[in-house]
Amino acid sequence: MTVSVADLSGELRLLRRGRGIAAPQLRERAGPALQTTFRISEGDDNAEVRRKITEGLLTLARTLPKDLHLAVLAALAIHEEAGHPFYQDRVRWLAHTLDRDDRTARRRIDEGMDQLAVLALGGVRSPEPEQPGRLWHTEELRVMVALDQPTPETFEFRRIVADTDHTSELDLALTLGAHGRDGRSSGSDLRVDVFYGGVLTARAMESSERIGLGLRLPKQLSRGDRHEFALRFRAPFRYSHFVCVPRHPVDLFILHLRFASPAPVRVSRLERVFQDDARDTEVLGTQLTPDASGEVQAEFRHLTPGFAYGIRWSATSSTGAQTH
Protein backbone atom coordinates (compact mmCIF):
# COMPACT_ATOMS: atom_id res chain seq x y z
CA MET A 1 0.00 0.00 0.00
CA THR A 2 1.22 3.50 -0.85
CA VAL A 3 0.80 5.76 2.20
CA SER A 4 0.48 9.53 1.86
CA VAL A 5 1.20 12.13 4.51
CA ALA A 6 -2.48 13.06 4.53
CA ASP A 7 -3.52 9.42 5.09
CA LEU A 8 -1.19 8.91 8.04
CA SER A 9 -1.91 12.30 9.60
CA GLY A 10 -5.64 11.62 9.35
CA GLU A 11 -5.34 8.24 11.08
CA LEU A 12 -3.24 9.76 13.87
CA ARG A 13 -6.03 12.29 14.44
CA LEU A 14 -8.54 9.45 14.74
CA LEU A 15 -6.25 7.53 17.07
CA ARG A 16 -6.07 10.38 19.59
CA ARG A 17 -9.77 10.09 20.40
CA GLY A 18 -10.93 8.49 23.64
CA ARG A 19 -8.07 6.72 25.40
CA GLY A 20 -5.64 7.18 22.52
CA ILE A 21 -2.91 4.56 22.38
CA ALA A 22 -4.45 2.88 25.45
CA ALA A 23 -7.71 2.10 23.62
CA PRO A 24 -8.81 -1.49 24.39
CA GLN A 25 -9.64 -2.19 20.72
CA LEU A 26 -6.47 -0.66 19.30
CA ARG A 27 -6.06 -3.47 16.76
CA GLU A 28 -9.34 -2.50 15.11
CA ARG A 29 -8.65 1.24 15.35
CA ALA A 30 -5.28 1.09 13.60
CA GLY A 31 -6.05 1.96 9.98
CA PRO A 32 -4.15 0.82 6.87
CA ALA A 33 -1.75 3.79 6.93
CA LEU A 34 -0.71 3.06 10.53
CA GLN A 35 -0.45 -0.67 9.80
CA THR A 36 1.79 -0.10 6.80
CA THR A 37 3.96 2.57 8.45
CA PHE A 38 4.61 0.63 11.66
CA ARG A 39 4.70 -2.84 10.07
CA ILE A 40 1.67 -4.23 11.85
CA SER A 41 0.82 -7.75 10.70
CA GLU A 42 -2.48 -9.63 10.80
CA GLY A 43 -1.31 -11.83 13.66
CA ASP A 44 -0.41 -8.94 16.01
CA ASP A 45 -2.65 -8.61 19.04
CA ASN A 46 -3.54 -5.36 20.83
CA ALA A 47 -0.42 -5.42 22.99
CA GLU A 48 1.90 -5.92 20.02
CA VAL A 49 0.12 -3.23 17.98
CA ARG A 50 0.43 -0.83 20.93
CA ARG A 51 4.13 -1.60 21.30
CA LYS A 52 4.91 -1.08 17.61
CA ILE A 53 3.02 2.19 17.31
CA THR A 54 4.28 3.57 20.63
CA GLU A 55 7.93 2.77 19.96
CA GLY A 56 7.69 4.14 16.44
CA LEU A 57 6.07 7.39 17.52
CA LEU A 58 8.49 7.89 20.43
CA THR A 59 11.43 7.55 18.04
CA LEU A 60 9.95 10.01 15.55
CA ALA A 61 8.79 12.51 18.18
CA ARG A 62 12.33 12.95 19.53
CA THR A 63 13.19 15.02 16.47
CA LEU A 64 10.28 17.45 16.92
CA PRO A 65 10.54 20.83 18.69
CA LYS A 66 9.89 20.46 22.43
CA ASP A 67 6.36 21.87 22.36
CA LEU A 68 5.28 19.65 19.46
CA HIS A 69 7.00 16.62 21.03
CA LEU A 70 4.99 17.16 24.20
CA ALA A 71 1.80 17.85 22.25
CA VAL A 72 1.69 14.62 20.25
CA LEU A 73 2.66 12.40 23.18
CA ALA A 74 -0.02 14.00 25.36
CA ALA A 75 -2.71 13.82 22.65
CA LEU A 76 -2.14 10.11 22.10
CA ALA A 77 -1.91 9.37 25.86
CA ILE A 78 1.69 8.19 25.51
CA HIS A 79 3.04 10.78 27.96
CA GLU A 80 2.91 9.27 31.44
CA GLU A 81 1.52 12.47 33.00
CA ALA A 82 -1.24 12.83 30.43
CA GLY A 83 -2.91 9.44 30.71
CA HIS A 84 -6.40 10.87 31.04
CA PRO A 85 -9.19 8.73 29.55
CA PHE A 86 -10.67 11.57 27.48
CA TYR A 87 -8.98 13.56 24.73
CA GLN A 88 -10.36 16.88 25.94
CA ASP A 89 -8.76 16.30 29.37
CA ARG A 90 -5.41 15.69 27.70
CA VAL A 91 -5.81 18.91 25.71
CA ARG A 92 -6.43 20.81 28.96
CA TRP A 93 -3.37 19.19 30.54
CA LEU A 94 -1.24 20.24 27.57
CA ALA A 95 -2.61 23.80 27.61
CA HIS A 96 -1.81 24.10 31.33
CA THR A 97 1.68 22.65 30.86
CA LEU A 98 2.48 24.98 27.94
CA ASP A 99 0.79 27.93 29.68
CA ARG A 100 -1.43 28.44 26.64
CA ASP A 101 -5.17 28.24 25.96
CA ASP A 102 -6.94 25.11 24.70
CA ARG A 103 -7.14 26.45 21.14
CA THR A 104 -3.37 26.88 20.97
CA ALA A 105 -2.85 23.41 22.48
CA ARG A 106 -5.04 21.83 19.77
CA ARG A 107 -3.11 23.71 17.11
CA ARG A 108 0.17 22.36 18.48
CA ILE A 109 -1.26 18.84 18.39
CA ASP A 110 -2.38 19.17 14.77
CA GLU A 111 0.96 20.63 13.72
CA GLY A 112 2.88 17.93 15.56
CA MET A 113 0.87 15.12 13.99
CA ASP A 114 1.37 16.53 10.51
CA GLN A 115 5.12 16.67 11.12
CA LEU A 116 5.12 13.14 12.56
CA ALA A 117 3.49 11.90 9.38
CA VAL A 118 6.14 13.58 7.25
CA LEU A 119 8.93 12.14 9.39
CA ALA A 120 7.40 8.66 9.36
CA LEU A 121 7.40 8.65 5.57
CA GLY A 122 11.00 9.77 5.35
CA GLY A 123 10.20 13.39 4.57
CA VAL A 124 9.08 12.42 1.06
CA ARG A 125 5.56 12.99 -0.22
CA SER A 126 3.81 10.19 -1.98
CA PRO A 127 3.27 10.87 -5.66
CA GLU A 128 0.29 13.15 -6.09
CA PRO A 129 -2.55 12.31 -8.42
CA GLU A 130 -2.75 14.41 -11.51
CA GLN A 131 -4.56 17.67 -10.84
CA PRO A 132 -6.20 18.90 -14.04
CA GLY A 133 -6.73 22.44 -12.72
CA ARG A 134 -3.09 22.95 -11.79
CA LEU A 135 -0.97 24.53 -14.51
CA TRP A 136 2.44 24.49 -12.80
CA HIS A 137 4.31 23.96 -9.56
CA THR A 138 7.60 25.20 -8.09
CA GLU A 139 10.54 22.83 -8.08
CA GLU A 140 12.89 25.23 -6.29
CA LEU A 141 12.43 28.67 -4.74
CA ARG A 142 15.37 30.63 -3.33
CA VAL A 143 14.63 33.94 -1.60
CA MET A 144 17.18 36.40 -0.24
CA VAL A 145 15.86 39.25 1.93
CA ALA A 146 18.09 42.22 2.79
CA LEU A 147 16.64 43.95 5.84
CA ASP A 148 19.71 46.16 6.28
CA GLN A 149 18.66 48.43 3.40
CA PRO A 150 16.72 51.71 3.78
CA THR A 151 13.84 49.88 2.06
CA PRO A 152 13.91 46.08 2.44
CA GLU A 153 14.87 44.28 -0.77
CA THR A 154 13.86 40.75 -1.70
CA PHE A 155 15.46 38.69 -4.45
CA GLU A 156 13.53 35.67 -5.69
CA PHE A 157 14.99 32.93 -7.88
CA ARG A 158 12.43 30.32 -8.91
CA ARG A 159 12.40 27.19 -11.08
CA ILE A 160 8.95 25.96 -12.06
CA VAL A 161 7.67 22.83 -13.82
CA ALA A 162 4.71 22.94 -16.18
CA ASP A 163 1.96 20.48 -15.19
CA THR A 164 0.04 20.90 -18.43
CA ASP A 165 0.70 21.82 -22.05
CA HIS A 166 0.46 25.38 -23.38
CA THR A 167 1.60 27.07 -20.14
CA SER A 168 2.54 30.62 -21.11
CA GLU A 169 1.79 32.80 -18.05
CA LEU A 170 2.23 32.42 -14.30
CA ASP A 171 0.03 33.86 -11.55
CA LEU A 172 2.15 35.21 -8.69
CA ALA A 173 1.40 37.30 -5.61
CA LEU A 174 3.04 39.14 -2.74
CA THR A 175 1.33 40.02 0.53
CA LEU A 176 2.39 43.19 2.31
CA GLY A 177 1.36 44.10 5.84
CA ALA A 178 -1.16 46.95 5.82
CA HIS A 179 0.46 50.23 6.83
CA GLY A 180 -1.69 52.95 5.34
CA ARG A 181 -4.09 55.17 7.26
CA ASP A 182 -7.05 53.07 6.16
CA GLY A 183 -5.30 49.79 6.99
CA ARG A 184 -4.71 48.93 3.36
CA SER A 185 -1.55 48.39 1.35
CA SER A 186 -1.08 50.31 -1.86
CA GLY A 187 0.20 48.74 -5.06
CA SER A 188 2.41 51.79 -5.51
CA ASP A 189 4.34 50.79 -2.37
CA LEU A 190 5.78 47.77 -4.18
CA ARG A 191 8.50 47.98 -6.82
CA VAL A 192 9.03 44.85 -8.89
CA ASP A 193 11.90 44.25 -11.32
CA VAL A 194 12.24 41.18 -13.53
CA PHE A 195 15.91 40.21 -13.83
CA TYR A 196 15.29 37.42 -16.31
CA GLY A 197 12.76 34.84 -17.41
CA GLY A 198 9.67 36.81 -18.44
CA VAL A 199 7.71 40.05 -18.62
CA LEU A 200 5.22 41.39 -16.07
CA THR A 201 1.77 41.59 -17.67
CA ALA A 202 -0.60 42.19 -14.76
CA ARG A 203 -0.54 43.95 -11.42
CA ALA A 204 -3.66 44.31 -9.29
CA MET A 205 -4.76 44.36 -5.64
CA GLU A 206 -6.40 40.99 -4.88
CA SER A 207 -7.19 41.96 -1.28
CA SER A 208 -6.39 44.76 1.15
CA GLU A 209 -2.82 43.42 1.48
CA ARG A 210 -2.18 40.99 -1.40
CA ILE A 211 -0.90 42.17 -4.77
CA GLY A 212 -1.38 39.84 -7.72
CA LEU A 213 1.23 39.67 -10.46
CA GLY A 214 1.23 38.04 -13.88
CA LEU A 215 4.45 36.90 -15.55
CA ARG A 216 4.39 36.13 -19.29
CA LEU A 217 7.01 33.54 -20.20
CA PRO A 218 9.41 33.92 -23.15
CA LYS A 219 7.95 30.78 -24.73
CA GLN A 220 5.08 28.40 -24.20
CA LEU A 221 5.85 25.39 -22.03
CA SER A 222 4.75 21.80 -22.54
CA ARG A 223 3.94 19.45 -19.67
CA GLY A 224 7.14 18.60 -17.78
CA ASP A 225 9.13 21.57 -19.15
CA ARG A 226 11.15 23.60 -16.63
CA HIS A 227 11.61 27.36 -16.58
CA GLU A 228 13.62 29.71 -14.35
CA PHE A 229 13.07 33.37 -13.57
CA ALA A 230 14.32 35.96 -11.10
CA LEU A 231 12.54 38.93 -9.52
CA ARG A 232 13.43 41.75 -7.14
CA PHE A 233 10.86 43.28 -4.78
CA ARG A 234 11.34 46.51 -2.85
CA ALA A 235 8.71 47.62 -0.35
CA PRO A 236 8.23 48.66 3.27
CA PHE A 237 6.66 45.83 5.28
CA ARG A 238 4.70 45.90 8.49
CA TYR A 239 5.12 42.56 10.24
CA SER A 240 8.32 41.05 11.60
CA HIS A 241 8.28 37.91 9.48
CA PHE A 242 8.85 36.66 5.96
CA VAL A 243 6.94 33.56 4.94
CA CYS A 244 6.01 31.68 1.80
CA VAL A 245 2.31 30.79 1.55
CA PRO A 246 2.25 28.87 -1.74
CA ARG A 247 -0.73 28.79 -4.08
CA HIS A 248 0.83 25.83 -5.89
CA PRO A 249 2.98 23.02 -4.44
CA VAL A 250 6.63 23.88 -3.74
CA ASP A 251 9.25 21.11 -3.60
CA LEU A 252 12.08 23.16 -2.08
CA PHE A 253 12.11 26.63 -0.46
CA ILE A 254 15.34 28.18 0.83
CA LEU A 255 15.06 31.50 2.67
CA HIS A 256 18.08 33.65 3.53
CA LEU A 257 17.68 36.79 5.68
CA ARG A 258 20.24 39.47 6.37
CA PHE A 259 19.40 41.67 9.38
CA ALA A 260 20.55 45.18 10.14
CA SER A 261 22.92 45.53 13.09
CA PRO A 262 22.26 44.69 15.85
CA ALA A 263 20.53 41.48 14.85
CA PRO A 264 17.24 40.57 16.59
CA VAL A 265 17.53 38.68 19.85
CA ARG A 266 14.87 36.13 18.92
CA VAL A 267 14.59 34.56 15.47
CA SER A 268 12.25 31.60 14.82
CA ARG A 269 11.80 29.14 11.98
CA LEU A 270 8.12 28.60 11.14
CA GLU A 271 6.97 25.50 9.28
CA ARG A 272 3.45 24.65 8.10
CA VAL A 273 1.63 27.15 10.31
CA PHE A 274 -1.63 28.86 9.47
CA GLN A 275 -1.11 32.08 7.52
CA ASP A 276 -2.59 34.32 10.23
CA ASP A 277 -0.45 32.57 12.86
CA ALA A 278 2.80 33.72 11.26
CA ARG A 279 2.70 36.90 13.33
CA ASP A 280 1.28 35.23 16.47
CA THR A 281 4.12 35.03 19.01
CA GLU A 282 2.27 32.24 20.82
CA VAL A 283 2.91 30.03 17.80
CA LEU A 284 6.39 28.77 18.61
CA GLY A 285 9.03 27.80 16.10
CA THR A 286 12.54 26.42 16.12
CA GLN A 287 15.01 29.05 17.28
CA LEU A 288 17.68 30.31 14.85
CA THR A 289 20.86 32.24 15.68
CA PRO A 290 22.13 34.91 13.27
CA ASP A 291 25.78 34.52 12.33
CA ALA A 292 28.50 37.17 12.63
CA SER A 293 27.13 38.87 9.52
CA GLY A 294 23.63 39.05 10.96
CA GLU A 295 22.33 36.36 8.59
CA VAL A 296 20.15 33.26 9.00
CA GLN A 297 18.94 30.62 6.56
CA ALA A 298 16.11 28.11 6.65
CA GLU A 299 15.23 25.29 4.26
CA PHE A 300 11.81 23.73 3.72
CA ARG A 301 10.73 20.80 1.56
CA HIS A 302 7.37 19.77 0.13
CA LEU A 303 5.38 22.85 1.10
CA THR A 304 1.61 22.42 1.32
CA PRO A 305 -0.40 25.14 -0.47
CA GLY A 306 -2.20 27.47 1.91
CA PHE A 307 0.21 27.02 4.85
CA ALA A 308 3.01 29.41 5.84
CA TYR A 309 6.74 28.58 5.90
CA GLY A 310 9.47 31.04 6.79
CA ILE A 311 11.16 33.08 9.51
CA ARG A 312 9.85 35.42 12.22
CA TRP A 313 11.97 37.73 14.34
CA SER A 314 11.53 40.17 17.19
CA ALA A 315 12.23 43.79 16.32
CA THR A 316 11.20 47.22 17.50
CA SER A 317 10.44 48.31 13.95
CA SER A 318 8.04 46.07 12.04
CA THR A 319 8.92 44.52 8.71
CA GLY A 320 7.42 41.53 6.99
CA ALA A 321 6.04 40.04 3.83
CA GLN A 322 4.73 36.88 2.22
CA THR A 323 5.41 35.35 -1.15
CA HIS A 324 3.11 32.84 -2.88
58-79 pLDDT tens trace: 988 887 888 888 999 999 999 9
34-44 pLDDT tens trace: 999 988 988 88
Between CA 311 and CA 308 the distance in angstroms is 10
Q: State the pLDDT at residue 176.
A: 61
To the nearest whole number, what is the mean pLDDT of the chain?
84
3-state secondary structure of 234: strand
The 3-state DSSP composition of the chain as helix, strand, coil percent (nearest 5) reads 30, 35, 40
Give me the domains of the chain, ranges plus CATH numbers. 5-120 (no CATH), 136-323 (2.60.40)
85-118 pLDDT tens trace: 899 999 999 999 988 888 889 988 988 898 888 8
Tell me what the mean pLDDT of segment 38-55 comes to.
90
Q: State the pLDDT at residue 135.
A: 83
**What percent of the chain lies above the pLDDT cut of 70?**
86
Predicted TM-score (pTM) of the model is 0.58
> Residue 180 pLDDT more than 60?
no
Entry field: residues in the chain: 324
Q: State the pLDDT at residue 163.
A: 87
Q: State the pLDDT at residue 168.
A: 93
| Long-range pairs, 92-97, Cβ under 8 A, ≥24 | 94/70, 97/70
